[in-house]
Chains A and B, each alone.
Chain A
């Protein structure tokens, strides 16, 4: 079956623009996670959802970052007024059950802010 998909795979934007990154989890997976990975570092947690409910957004760095999952499936991570320091790989993962810590990752979106 299909794995986690993310789009776009690459995004280049100018400082100050808004960007929206999409994640399509594995069909039927109830939990969805967003991580950010800087070059040479491990992924860092941003936020996660169980179904459509955002459970933990403690990793979002500031109020320019937001995420939604309105129907409990596809999720969008939005970054407003992008800055160069937002450049990173943004990774999405999903898991089949609540409190199931086996997460399946998508290929990531490489964001470059010029």
Chain B
């Protein structure tokens, strides 16, 4: 079945450091890919998405590019802030596979220190 594997955490960075969180997927169809973020004490929020190969999703300085050849959707940010501290989840939705559900990775906890 469909699955998402993302980089194990936790990740601790200093403010203004470069961030990469790796995410790879397996899917029977041609999925859409997502990054969700969960800030402390809050629910899941969609951060960005991409629906086809070579699409780049971006939001709040974060970017991720849908790479079909490597089945990857790595999250990057050039300069993190303390306010980026959160848990990040990579997810896919494989509508072509007949299901509308989201399949999530285990999450990566990011802590940014001043």
A residues adjacent to B (C-beta < 8 A):
4, 31, 33, 35, 40-45, 48, 50, 55-56, 59, 91, 93, 95, 98-99, 101-108
Q: Is B99's CB under 8 angstroms from A42's CB?
A: no
User: Residue B100 contacts which of A41, A56, A91, A104 (CB distance < 8 angstroms)?
Assistant: A56
User: B103: CB under 8 A from chain A?
Assistant: yes
User: Per-position contact with A for B91-111: 1 when CB-CB < 8 Å, else 0?
Assistant: 101010001111111110000
Whether B43 contacts A108 by the Cβ 8 Å rule is: yes
Beyond the given A55-B100, A101-B93, please list 18 additional residue pairs across the A-B interface where CB-CB is below 8 A: A4-B43, A33-B100, A33-B101, A40-B106, A40-B107, A41-B107, A42-B91, A42-B106, A43-B44, A45-B103, A48-B101, A50-B100, A56-B100, A98-B100, A99-B100, A101-B32, A101-B95, A104-B46
In the assembly, what is the distance between CA of A108 and CA of B41, in Å?
A: 11
Interface bits B71-100 vs A (CB < 8 Å: 1, else 0) = 000000000000000000101010100011
Interface residues of B (CB under 8 A from A): 4, 32, 34, 36, 42-46, 49, 89, 91, 93, 95, 99-107
User: Which residues of chain B are near A99, meaning CB under 8 Å?
Assistant: 95, 100
A103 touches B95 (CB 8 A): no
- B21 CB, nearest partner CB in chain A, Å: 13
B100 contacts which chain A residues (CB < 8 A)?
A: 31, 33, 48, 50, 55-56, 95, 98-99, 101
Contact indicator B43/A45 (Cβ below 8 Å): no
- Least CB separation from B32: chain A residue: A101
Nearest-neighbour CB distance to chain B for A105, whole angstroms, equals: 4
What is the distance, in angstroms, from B52's C-beta to the closest C-beta of chain A?
13
Q: How far is the CB of A2 from chain B (nearest CB, A)?
A: 13
| B44 A91 Cβ-Cβ under 8 A | yes
What is the bound-complex CA distance between A43 and B90, given in angstroms? Answer: 11
Q: Which 9 A/B pairs are nearest by Cβ-Cβ distance?
A: A42-B104, A101-B93, A45-B101, A105-B44, A107-B43, A105-B43, A42-B106, A43-B104, A101-B32
